[in-house]
Structure formats: structure tokens, C-alpha cells
Amino acid sequence: MSEEKSLNFIEEIVEADLASGKHETILTRFPPEPNGYLHIGHAKSICLNFGLAKKYGGATNLRFDDTNPVTEDTEYVDSIKEDIKWLLEGTGNGWAQELYASDYFEQLYAFAVDLIEKDLAYVDDSTSEEIAIQKGTPTQPGINNEYRSRTVAENLALFADMRAGKYKDGEKVLRAKIDMASTNMLLRDPIIYRIKHAHHHRTGDKWCIYPMYDFAHGQSDSIEKITHSICTLEFIPHRPMYDWCIEKLGIYPSKQYEFARLNMTYTVMSKRKLLQLVNEGHVTSWDDPRMPTISGMRRRGFTPDSLREFCDKIGIAKRENLIDFSLLEFCVREHLNKIAQRRMVVFDPLKVVITNYELGEENLLSENNPEDENGGERNVPFSKEIYIEREDFMEVAPKKYFRLAPGQMVRLKSAYIIKCDEVVKDEAGNIVQLNCSYIPESKSGSDTSGINVKGTLHWVSVATALPIEVRLYDRLFTEENVGAAEGDFKEYMNKESLQILPIAYGEPSLGEATLQERHQFIRKGYFCLDKESTKDKLVFNRTVTLKDTWAKVNK
């Protein structure tokens, strides 16, 4: 957060804790579950946790919540680390320690044994369906089953047998003994350990019992001495369990605080739904540029600066709200406008022959970025034959049409003023070529005050035009609030979210483009090179259009 802004409520809590001497410094954590790729909602949490620690001279741990071996994979671990490094790029920030809940499996088991010895946990043989029924409803209290009265000795022996692998998945669970009549359903003897005979990506087959999130979370925070454990609002009902475990175990009193998660228009944030999109082939991968994942946005050309600015603008709130996707696009445009290299690319070419041009080929200078005084210039080849956009010509033009038309003049970007003298058509009546003449003394930078030209077109020389593939990405859904829409969320997918132009023509300098560079295709939008590019086939992704046209088109 910028220093000029007022403090958000979490910063107020931190400042009060530091001022009172409750903490000498702060330690936060970012605790992703390695069962999918991070999305823009996680970016908000990353910016908050890492930004908070940096602002107040503390540190942040990266701790993977790897307590469910069935859904976790090292691919996700690697992608999460890469995303965080990229998002924090240039900030001088990063995680203090890379940790895993699995680092604490032995300690967490000991904590569970401690609760059993205090008669605060018991082994239950009930099925998941029976447990659900016994828990009751929000308006009716639950009931104590026969297993709740097992002795401490019996529970210790059964829990040891669970660890030893003597039972099948689902045959037994360990539950905290709290209050089956609590108004908080999560306190009605929650399950804290379950049996899963599954290979773990770090511990292998050493364990066949795994702690539940609500048990592992607070204790892991406590082991690391996390001062401010920041979660999203859906964890408010979980906080009493967090506090109960810490209190009963008598361990370091980490505290949980909640803020509103990020909900954004025209997208979904559920990992389950995102995984469904990937598995069912609605998108190509987790890093498909249409996905709201950090890796997808990176591939699409978003910059870490723009995502951090977006998170800064939406702030930290106590209530859920729906953020407009156009705000993210605005932040991206603002940053790309400052850093993107300007290049000319023709999507739908119409050939123009400049009949009186006799110089063969010349190199003309064009600025790389008018917003950057140190951006420099580049050479752009110019010749007798060029391509312009087909939409930039109209045979029968209205009065206020400032592009090319018969008898009308336009300026070619960084080049000359030309006039359309003749329209050439094929036998079917389709326009295939324009014959034009140019004004030699109108070269860019010359004094042309005596010539009234209002339109400027981009172009590329036919002789040196570089064939490229262009992928035009747009919003993945047509419904503003996908989460609240009726029916299957996939019914609202935008069929026009990807349009591919197999061949467009760019100026030759694009042949030297790198994955790290950002480009503005003049009058077209912001683009970046895609990772699927090869030497023989360059692919460029549209990051965002030059202006927000979505609202107008989709009213």
C-alpha cells in the first residue's frame, strides 16, 4: 500500500500490536495448498501478506498446506513458487522460509496425542454419513455417539493403530471433543485426522493418516510463531477452532484475522471450477491466457507491476464485493503504455502500390515509445509496395472519414503522405490493390503545414513483412457475476474469448522479440510473444485492447 493512503484495518491492528509491545516485529505467512495454480485472488493475499511484513520490518513465510496427498503435486508447488517470485519481482521482497505442513507431521501427531491424553479427542468409527446426521442442523443440536465416551487409553491405542496402517480409508477418524450443541457447526466435534493410504509428494508412504486443515493450520502458525495469520472471510467460522486448539495445547498464541477475498466480474475463482475447465478441455492449460491464474496472466502479457497496482487500488475490505474486470485492464494499460515498444502490424492486409516511388527501399526512423524520453528509435523499412489494413480503406466514404478513400490523402505513420489514385479489383469485384502516389517532401518530420491531412495509418513494407500468428484473447465469460448465475457456470463461457489470426504481417524488428518484452501494436492493442513461438513461427498474444470496448459492445 502507498504511504499516502489511510491505513487499512489490518495495518491498524499491526500498528497497535507493535505500539503496545505485544510484538517486537511481525511474521506473516502465505499458506497455499499445492492442488492447483494460483489465481488473481491469491495475488491479493500475496500482496497483503508480503507487503505488510515489508512495511513493518517483518518477514513472511511461504508454507505449503500439503495435508491432502490425493490432490497435491510437485507441479503445483513449482508453479506457486514461480508465480510468487514473478509477482514480487522488483520489490526486493520474498519469503523468509520455504516450509511445508508436512514438515510438522510428527509434531502435529504429538499435538493430537496430547489432546487425547487430555480427553479432548477421541477415535470415532462412524461413517461420514453417520457423522453428518449426528451433527444435527444449525437449528438443532447434535448428539453424542457411543464412541465419544471411549477411554483415553483406548483412544491412544486406536490412534496408534490408525498411524500403523491397520485400518482402511474412512474406517476411523480422530475427532476433537468440543461441543455437539455448539451454535457453530464447525465446533461440533470436528474431524482432526483421517486415514488416507495415498503417496505423499514429500513424505512418500511414511504416513497413512493426515491432519485436517483446521487442525494443521493454527498449530503450524504456532510452531512458526506467526504473529498475524491473515485469512479470507470464509474462515471466520473456523477461528474458534483455531483458538480452541492453541488454547488447549498451550502453545504460542498466533492470531487469525480475516479480510474480504477478491471476487471479479466475468471470471471464476474456484480452484475446483478452474480445474474443471482444464480437465474438460475448455481451456488448453492452467496457464491458458484466458485463465485468471497468475501464470495465465503472465503468459498473456500482464506485468507484475500492474497486478500489484490493481491489488493496491482495490484495497483491503471487511465485506465481500465484486471488482470490475475493467479495473484490472485499466491498470495493465496504464503500465504497458509506459513500457511497451511500439510496432506496426497489419492484421487484414490490403496491398498498396506507390506508383511514383522510385527509391527502391529506405529505412525510416520511428520512435519506440513516445511515453519514454529514453526509448530511442528504430529503423522501419519502406518500399514501393506496402500493406495497410483493409478496414482503413473505404471506396465510398462519408464526409468525416479521415482514412484512405479515392482521391483522399492520409499520412503513413513515420513515413509519407499518400493519395489514393486508383482502385484495382479482381473479376469478382473484390478490391485487391490500391494504386497511390506519395508526396516526396512530406517525409515524417518535414513541414507539411500546407497539406490538410487528418488521418494517420500504420503499415508494413511487403518486401520485409514478417508473417506472425496473432491470438486475440478476451474475457472467458459473458456473464458479469458468474458465481451468482443460474445453472452450470460453463453455459456462460464466451465463445469469442479466443480468435486466431493465422497470418498477420509485422515489421521485421518483431523477429527479435523476447518473452520478457511487451509491445503495442499501433492502433491494435498490447501484445507479447507467446511461449509456443518458434524461430519459424512467431505467436503473439493480445494482452488487452487499447481502450475498454467491452462495456459498449456488451450493454
CA atoms within 13 A on the CB side of 174: 34
Does residue 307 sit within a domain?
yes
pLDDT digits (tens, 9 = 90+) for 357-410: 999 899 999 999 999 989 999 999 999 999 999 999 999 999 899 999 999 999
284 in the same domain as 331: yes
pLDDT for 445 equals 81
HSE, side-chain direction, 13 A CA sphere, residue 403: 13
CA distances, 303 to each of 218, 337, 342 (Å) = 34, 12, 17
Per-residue model confidence as pLDDT tens digits over 160-187: 999 999 999 999 999 999 999 999 999 9
Beta bridge partners of 195: 209
pLDDT at 5: 63
Grid coordinates given for 350: 490490403
pLDDT given for residue 3 in this prediction: 45
pTM for this entry: 0.92
Query: Beta-carbon neighbour count of residue 135 at 10 Å?
Result: 18
Q: Tell me how far apart the terminal alpha carbons of the chain are, to the nearest angstrom.
A: 34
CATH no. for residue 365? Answer: 2.40.240.10
Identify the residue whose cell numbers are 475447465: 277
**Is-contact 441 451, C-beta < 8 A?**
no
Parent domain of 177: 105-214
Tell me if residue 261 is catalytic.
yes
The pLDDT assigned to 111 comes to 98
Q: Which domain CATH number covers 282?
A: 1.10.1160.10
DSSP 396-436: S--TT--SB-BT-EEEETTS-EEEEEEEEE-TTS-EEEEEE
pLDDT top residue among 224 and 318: 224
Question: Do 359 and 447 belong together in one domain?
Answer: yes
pLDDT digits (tens, 9 = 90+) for 10-31: 999 999 999 999 999 999 999 9
Do 428 and 502 belong to one domain? no
Q: Which of 440, 458, 476 finishes a domain?
A: 458
* Interval 423-447 mean pLDDT: 94
Can you give the pLDDT at residue 468?
98
Q: Which helix or strand (DSSP H or E) is residue 298 part of?
A: helix 294-300
- Domain identity same for 270 and 336: yes
Gyration radius (Cα) of the chain, Å: 31
Tell me how far CA of residue 428 lies from CA of 14, 267, 432, 435, in angstroms: 74, 45, 10, 19
Considering the chain, what percentage of its residues have pLDDT values greater than 70?
Answer: 98
**What mean pLDDT is predicted for residues 255-275?**
95
Among residues 29, 239, 271, 518, which one is catalytic? Answer: 271
What cell does 271 get?
480452484
**pLDDT tens digit sequence for 105-155:** 999 999 999 999 999 999 999 999 999 999 999 999 999 999 999 999 999
pLDDT at residue 48, as a whole number: 96
Query: What pLDDT was estimated at residue 87?
Result: 98
The rounded distance, in Å, linking the Cα atoms of 485 and 477 is 11
User: Does residue 80 lie within any of the structural domains?
Assistant: no
pLDDT at res. 551: 54
Distance of CA 251 to the CA centre of its chain: 36
Q: Average of pLDDT values for 222-248? A: 97
- Supply 382's cell numbers: 519502406
552 has pLDDT over 70:
no
- Cell 457456470 belongs to which residue? 489
**Is 471 annotated as catalytic?**
no
Q: Does residue 201 contact residue 72 with C-beta atoms inside 8 Å?
A: yes
* Amino acid, res. 436: C
Q: Are 512 and 348 in contact (CB under 8 A)?
A: no
Given a contact cutoff of 8 angstroms between Cβ atoms, the answer to whether 28 and 63 are in contact is no
Q: What is the 3-state secondary structure (H, E, C) of 148-205?
A: HHCCHHHHHHHHHHHHCCCCCCCCCEEEECCCCCCCCHHHCCCEEEEECCCCECCCEC
**What's the CA gap between 399 and 520, in Å, rounded?**
30
CB 540 within 8 A of CB 471: yes
Q: Is the pLDDT of residue 2 over 50?
A: no
- 508 CB-near residues (< 8 Å, 6+ apart): 381, 464, 465, 466
What is the reported pLDDT for 554?
54
Render pLDDT for 29-46 as a digit per residue (tens, 0 to 9): 999 999 999 999 999 999
Number of Cβ within a 10 Å radius of residue 334: 13
Give the domain-ending residue among 214, 236, 254. Answer: 214
- In the chain, how many domains are there? 3
CA distance 153 to 157: 6
Task: Give the whole-number percent of the chain exceeding pLDDT 90.
Answer: 94
pLDDT, position 34: 95
Q: What mean pLDDT is predicted for residues 300-312?
A: 97
Shared domain for 435 and 451, answered yes or no, is yes
> One of 44, 255, 261, 518 is an active-site residue; which one?
261
To the query of whether residue 486 is one of the catalytic residues in this protein, the response is no
Sorted by sequence, the CB contacts under 8 Å of residue 441 that are 6+ apart come out as: 448
Contact predicate 79/295, CB 8 Å: yes
- Domain stop point among 428, 458, 488: 458
* Cell representation of residue 232: 479470507
- Looking up residue 142, the CATH number of its domain turns out to be 3.90.800.10
What is the average per-residue pLDDT within 449-477?
Answer: 95
Q: How high is the pLDDT of residue 84?
A: 98
Other CB atoms within 10 A of residue 53 CB: 25
